[in-house]
Amino acid sequence: MLVRLRTLADRLAGSFWPIPGLLVALGIFGAYGIVQLDRSDLLRKTLLQHWVYDGGASGARSLLSAIASSTITVAGTVFSITIAALSLAAGQMGPRLLYNFTRDRGNQVTLGILLGTFGYALTALRSIRTEAEGNFIPHVGLTVGIALAVACVGMMVYFIGHMASRINVDTVLELVTEDLDDAVERLTVDKRETEPPPAEFWQGARILADTRRGYLEQIDDEGLASWAAEHGCSIRLLVGIGDFVAPGSPIALAKPAPNGIEEAIRKRSVLAKQRNSSSDLRFAVRQLVEVAVRALSPGINDPLTAISVVDRLGATLCSMSRRHLPTGVFDRDGRLALYVPRVQYDQLLNTMFHMIRQSAAGKPAVLIRLLKALTQVASCERDRARIHVLNHHAELVLADARRSVASPNDLEDIERRHFDFAQVIKVGPEHYLADPRCG
């Protein structure tokens, strides 16, 4: 139940409709409440004369009709602009970034206020009565309707400027980088955790299969670990957050395997049709990488955008230098209860740099920036295992450059950057950066 509630909360947070739907409901029920206030004797005649609308029934109907028709027309315009912006973003930066547009609060509030005003105007309009019908005019309701119409004009002006800034690639990159930094803060730990057991530990374990299909979006690891401890078994999941589960494929190992273990895993895990999870550290990384890869494609050919992505990825790795990635080991009473595979440092760097490096073949500016970013990270990092991974990627960049860069001068610049990286690793950043010949 907990994992499904968490999944529902994540999906609602990323959906486009909750806030507009809430504002529409607020407009409708708000109109009903204000009309009831108009029917009461709570407001004095002097207040009505000086502060609220005091026209007749015909004018009131015309006014509310104009507000309703204009707001629904503007809402259609806002929707059209949003679709055009989404199409542009999908073509230039990739369809996976549409998630950042649909969950944008500015877009949701703008559309919600327009549609909420439309619902308010229609609800208030139905209460107006002429002399022959009983003579009722919601003066306060009309005044609020006028104020909402003015607010809609302001929201439309805001929306145009907001969308103009949102389709800027640097703004989009900054938003995705903020998501990545938030994921790093949530999904990394201050202290090194217990290492997973060796492969020999799982010899003789029973293989468990899953009949479902989709990407693993959420898992209640604490709940599953407690279940395993209660039943005296150890469970090793073979898929992590963001991995695809195929029907009939192995999903876990159990040693031993008590009755009901498959059902326990299904109840405490949620699969989705597409990879999109706040618990997946590589999700935001893939969004940035997709922008860089598209920018390096022959159809767009925008290496500056790719360089901007590389800079942000390097900054993220520098911020991780004092933190540790979780191992996914859950103990209960000194005994292994659950092992969930978590993304490790080498996997994270593979996701960050492999596709960019492959797409940047023959582009010296991007290859140089890759080596510069790796050098910056190496100067922050103290973990020898991580430095070994960084060195592996630097060697790959140099090998690609020697194979794809035709200009000797460009290749010399790349080799010098690789030398800088090697020196930072060899003598340390304090000694190397103090050398006036560095860089």
Both tokens assigned to 208: 């468990």
Stretches where the chain sits below pLDDT 50 are 44, 46, 434, 436-439
Q: Is 136 helix (H, G, I), strand (E, B) or coil?
A: strand
Contact 308, 328 (CB under 8 A): no
Q: What is the pLDDT of residue 378?
A: 93
Q: What is the pLDDT of residue 94?
A: 65
Which residues in 321-374 belong to E strands, given as ranges? 329-332, 335-339
> Number of H helices and number of E strands within the chain?
17, 8
Q: What is the pLDDT of residue 436?
A: 45
Looking from the CA of 406 toward its CB, the CA atoms found within 13 Å total 0
Q: How far apart are the first and last CA of the chain?
A: 55
Both tokens assigned to 7: 């999944």
